[in-house]
Amino acid sequence: MAAMPRAEIDVTPSLVAALLREQLPDLAQLPVQFAGGGWDNTLFRLGEDLVVRLPRRAVADALMIAEQQWLPERAARVSVPTSAPLRSGRPGAGYPWHWSVCRWIDGVSGSTVPRRDRSPAARPLARFLAEFHQPAPDDAPVSPVGRGGPLAARDDVVRARLASLPQIPGVPEGALLRGWDAALAAPAWSGEPLWLHGDLHPANVVLAPDGRLAGVVDFGDLCSGDPATDLAAAWLHFDGAGRAAFRAELERLRAVDAATWERARGWALSMGSALAASSDDSPALFDLGAETLTAVLDDAPWL
């Protein structure tokens, strides 16, 4: 198992204030307050309506640059609030990487809401994907970890991961491996590459108090390819009722064949196993991974 990578730079409110004074002085008078972060970025709330996103390790700089280059135009075409950059920052004030100022989206992380209570977000999330999954240009970002690509490229790593996972209550021995084999057997995506969020797990959505979708955030894995990667959200986010609503709404808006849903289940299995295997320092990650793997089996036709 792997723990969250350590930050390579200690990003502090004073550093954020210095960057603002140097590059965006019209925002420098706003108060700066630490607001959390994840594997790649640290977040600071800026005044009431903005948030500053800064990479905490070098590998995230290229992801931030891709967001700055591509995401504002893509986000302008969707009806859901996003974390698209409103203002772009560059290295300075002793800080070596690019950074962005984005809109603050009120609500809570979807990962903090029980799965059974996320169903109100199912149809809005499907509508977001129908809007976002548009043809991507030839020079669109390519995922460094294979998101949007063929499942077969992940075969060795997923099999090794499944072999190393502890037994998950309610998951029959060998069931996940059979599920992975079924996903691999599905016909590959033959359409043109589409724009993808690339990492649409519950921590990357913001929910309103009533469970409805308030926003989609963290497009660091923005890439292009097979939409099945993002459709894994059906199992990452929702219980059976939510999955049914998600699927029905998406199919109302665009055709999705059975093979794409089977590959999406495979992506959910891959992502769920990765979450469960990366939980040394986060029981919540293991719980999300285990819930996802259990959901993958809930309506599995091959069981």
Q: What is the pLDDT of residues 167-181, one digit of tens each?
A: 888 888 899 999 999
Asked if the model's pLDDT at residue 1 lies above 50, the reply is no
Quote the tokens at residue 1.
């198992």
203-206: list long-range contacts, CB under 8 Å, 24+ apart: 203/38, 203/109, 203/110, 203/111, 203/288, 204/110, 205/109, 205/110, 205/121, 205/125, 205/237, 206/81, 206/105, 206/106, 206/107, 206/108, 206/109, 206/110
Helix (H, G, I), strand (E, B) or coil at 55: strand
Is residue 2 over pLDDT 70? no
pLDDT digits (tens, 9 = 90+) for 227-258: 999 999 999 999 999 999 999 999 999 999 99
Residue 277 or residue 108, greater confidence: 108
Residue 283 has pLDDT above 90, yes or no: no
Q: Which two tokens stand for residue 154?
A: 């992940």
User: DSSP assignment, residue 9?
Assistant: S
Domains and CATH numbers, the chain: 13-103 (3.30.200.20), 108-298 (3.90.1200.10)
Q: For residue 72, what pLDDT is reported?
A: 97
DSSP character string of 199-246? ---GGGEEE-TTS-EEEE---TT-EEE-THHHHTHHHHH--HHHHHHH
pLDDT in the model for residue 4: 66
Q: Which helix (H) or strand (E) holds 164?
A: helix 155-164
Contact 222, 198 (CB under 8 A): yes
